Amino acid sequence: MKTAIISGASKGIGKAAALTFAAAGYQVFNLSRSSAGIDGVCDVPIDLSASDVREILDTAVIPKIDPLDSVVLIHNAAKLESGGLKEVSGAMLGDILNLNVTAPQRLNHHLLPFMKQGSAIIYVGSTLSEKAVANSFTYVTSKHAVLGMMRATCQDLAGTQIHTACVCPGFTDTEMLRAHVGDNEAVLQDIASGSTFGRLVLPGEIADLLFFAAENPVINGAVLHGNLGQIES
């Protein structure tokens, strides 16, 4: 059996990924403060930005990983807040970086010794990992860092037969996006019109891309954009 450990799998892209990997026969762990509500998915209540992550993993996850399993670690959990350069304090940036950047490395550091050949570390970045928009200073900064982490991961795991990639969703119809725009359908439609398909990406489409990345080591070090083709102004 293969194992998938997904951060933030209680909603949105993470939940869709949990469904996809579980359907493919993976043992799936959801690292989140809330339940995924999916039969067969093991919910591990955890605050990824807290200091007790190691102890929780030692108790609830690591004993359940068969030493012969390959492990897919998907860094999906993230926080999105509005705010531009002038409004964002160092403390505000640090808060976002703690969850979006530092937490994935906490997981890497503790779980990597249990990842055998054939395992994978997949980062969920964003279209904003390689570009920027106004008033999203902390999110843009953190997602650029996530892309850098993936590239460093690729180089540092050379020879281990463990591969990595960064999947960069475009505007996806998730709870996070809807909350960010105040669940305003007019705003959502305006955002959707920015893709060549005239719609938002579906969480399941990104889940399929994550599954492809996890199963295909040939894409090691790749940045995979899933945005339906964004219209550039």
In a domain? residue 185: no
> What pLDDT score was predicted for residue 182?
80
Q: In the structure, what pLDDT confidence band is assigned to residue 181 with cuts at 50, 70 and 90?
A: confident
Give per-residue pLDDT as tens, 5-50. Answer: 999 999 999 999 999 999 999 999 999 999 999 999 999 999 998 8
In a domain? residue 37: yes
How far is the C-alpha of 30 from the C-alpha of 199, rounded, in Å? 28
In a domain? residue 193: no
Asked if residue 88 lies in contact with residue 136, where contact means CB atoms within 8 angstroms, the answer is: no
> What pLDDT score was predicted for residue 1?
79
How far is the C-alpha of 126 from the C-alpha of 147, rounded, in Å? 9
> What pLDDT score was predicted for residue 108?
98
What's 74's domain CATH number?
3.40.50.720
Q: In the structure, what pLDDT confidence band is assigned to residue 179 with cuts at 50, 70 and 90?
A: confident
**How many independent structural domains does the chain possess?**
1
> What pLDDT score was predicted for residue 155?
98
In a domain? residue 58: yes
Residue 25, CA distances (Å) to 2, 212, 231 in order: 7, 15, 37
In a domain? residue 49: yes
> What pLDDT score was predicted for residue 176?
85
User: What is the pTM assigned to this prediction?
Assistant: 0.95
In a domain? residue 19: yes
Give per-residue pLDDT as tens, 56-76. Answer: 999 999 999 999 899 999 999
For the chain, how are helix, strand and coil distributed in percent, rounded to 5?
Answer: 45, 20, 40
In what helix (H) or strand (E) does residue 28 lie, and over which residues does it extend?
strand 27-32
What the block records as the tokens of 51 is 């200091």
In a domain? residue 42: yes
Q: In the structure, what pLDDT confidence band is assigned to residue 51 with cuts at 50, 70 and 90?
A: confident
In a domain? residue 34: yes
Residue 33's domain comprises 3-170+203-225
Bridge partner list, 166: 123, 223
